[in-house]
Amino acid sequence: MSILRILTLLRRDILWGFRSNLLLFAIIIPLLITFLIQVVLNPLFEPVPRIGVVDLGDSKITQEIKEVEGIEVFLLDETDLLKEKIELNDLDAGFILEKDFDQLLLDDKNPEFDFYISGDSGVYERILSTSVVMDLIRQVEDKDAVVNVEEILLGEEYLPMSERLVPLIAFFSLFVGGIFVPAMSLVQERESGTLNAVLVSPVRISEVICSKVILGFVLGIVMTLATLVLNNAIGNEPFALLIAILISMLMLSEIGIIFALLSKDVQSFYTIMKGSQIILFTPAVLYIWPDLPDWILKIFPTYWMIEPIYQVGVNGGDFFDISFELFISILICIVLLPIILLLARRMEKSLF
């Protein structure tokens, strides 16, 4: 196997990939999926309460509420406009602060406080809006609470939907770089006949496969890291995360090459891809339901490559926490290697 020939083939694959828009597709799709999930879908699963404020004076509450995380605050000038927006469900809740509201509170004069809630708002928005406003009023009064409240966590800690979707988002990037790019490139060359022309030269089929795997490998790593950064899922151990991504890319690259070697043309490649989607994507999708038993996920081979990325990127795990999963992933890669060699020899014989 010649490194020089592999690099020459890699350069050719890069140029061909951009001319055929394959690489552009591989770059844009993971970023587009990240955008759709984070910007479009997440707000649907985790709505942010929208609170309107009409401050007729200069209340401390108005300044403080703008600093509260997890809500959207809209400052309005007119009482009628506030009521109209709440009736139309443009706001989940709203309140009016009369002039000198803070001073009246401090003087125990019970100032008028109108708090409006939209009839279409959900229970979550109502509870959060009310608790935030009541807490701010208590701060202005500078009085201790009547009771002391201690938060006690029962059961598993709630994971936001944005974190539960991280495995699926990351898997798309891994899938495109590890399976789709190298496999589609090899299948298209075989279908067009250019692979025959290349193999007439001293180039060997193993060198062709290596060049395509390297291309997808680099692309997949870059795009996976980019999507994890965009989703704030790098964790505290970047080195452990990088190792997990490298092993994941190796496994998917081997799977992609097996698909390509089994495919006679693009149509048969798509057929194989469709038939394997359940096995490949199911573990990433099932992370949306964290209460599912672990044994269900462990049935699927791709679980062993997704779990380390999830543990490090989302749960803040380290290399020790993912060592067993990485070991299983490496074993799977070793098992797939002789299958690739056998199929590569069979394909090379069928071409001549």
pLDDT (tens place) for every residue of the chain, 352 residues total: 677 777 787 787 777 766 667 777 777 877 787 777 666 665 555 567 888 888 888 888 888 888 777 788 888 888 888 888 888 888 888 888 888 777 777 777 777 777 888 876 666 566 667 777 777 777 766 654 433 434 333 344 556 666 777 888 888 888 888 888 888 888 888 887 777 777 777 777 878 888 888 888 888 888 888 888 887 788 888 899 999 999 999 899 889 889 988 888 888 888 988 888 888 888 888 887 777 787 888 888 889 988 899 889 888 888 888 999 999 999 999 999 999 888 888 877 776 5
User: Within a domain: residue 70?
Assistant: yes
- The answer to whether residues 182 and 266 belong to one domain is yes
Do both 194 and 343 map to the same domain? Answer: yes
Same domain, 177 and 247: yes
Mark whether 27 and 82 lie in a shared domain: no
Is 147 within a domain? Answer: no
- Domain-embedded: residue 29: yes
Q: Is residue 325 assigned to a domain?
A: yes
How far are the Cα atoms of 45, 67, 79, 287, 321 from residue 160, in angstroms, in the given order?
A: 9, 21, 35, 12, 22
CA distance 343 to 263: 11
What's the CA gap between 136 and 114, in Å, rounded?
Answer: 15
Q: Are residues 169 and 230 in the same domain?
A: yes
Within 8 A by CB and 6+ apart from 14, the residues are 23, 215
Would you say residue 287 lies in a domain? yes
Measure CA of the first residue to CA of the last residue in the chain; give whole Å: 20
Co-location of 54 and 38 in the same domain: no
Residues 220, 128, single domain; the answer is no
Total domains in the chain come to 2
In sequence order, what are the beta bridge partners of 117?
93
Asked if residue 207 and residue 342 are part of one domain, the reply reads yes
CB distance 15 to 215 below 8 Å: no
Give yes or no: residues 14 and 55 share one domain: no
Judge if pTM exceeds 0.85: no
Which domain does 30 fall in, by range?
Answer: 3-42+160-351
- CATH number of the domain to which 56 belongs: 3.40.1710.10
